[in-house]
Amino acid sequence: MSDEFIKVATLEIKDEIASIKKILESCKDDSDIFKNSKSIEKHIHKIKGLAPMMGKKGLGEIAALNDKLLNHIIEGQNLEGIYSTLCESSVFMDQSIRGSDHSSQEIKQKIATKYSKYLD
């Protein structure tokens, strides 16, 4: 990918993460996530698509897992603990896009263990 694409995509992802964080700041628990799931999913979905194209594989994988979980919520399923999962994921995504080299393995494993029946 060109440097210009990386620059533009990075800005877009930063904007999407900022939007997610803003929504999460207005939430206090899982029920608030259920009410805002479509809006959050829209931002997560964009990150899911852009991140891998710019070489941010771990960021894309975390976004993809959260996208899948949010789609279950949108379909009416109740995922206990999703508020804390999304908060933790948004911190990881923010650090990742800002250049942190933290591995996504730990958070991926935590999500996969907690929500295994929704991710198969």
Task: Tell me what pLDDT residue 16 has.
Answer: 98
What CATH code would you report for 3-119? 1.20.120.160
Phi-psi region of 9 (alpha: psi -120 to 50; beta: other; left: phi over 0): alpha
Residue 101: pLDDT over 80: no
- For residue 45, what is the enclosing H or E element? helix 30-53
Task: Tell me what pLDDT residue 1 has.
Answer: 67
Q: Where are the domains of the chain?
A: 3-119
Other C-beta atoms lying within 10 Å of the C-beta of residue 9: 21
How does the average pLDDT of the chain come out, rounded? 95
Res. 100 pLDDT band, cuts 50 70 90? confident
Over residues 23-64, the pLDDT tens digits come to: 999 999 999 999 999 999 999 999 999 999 998 999 999 999
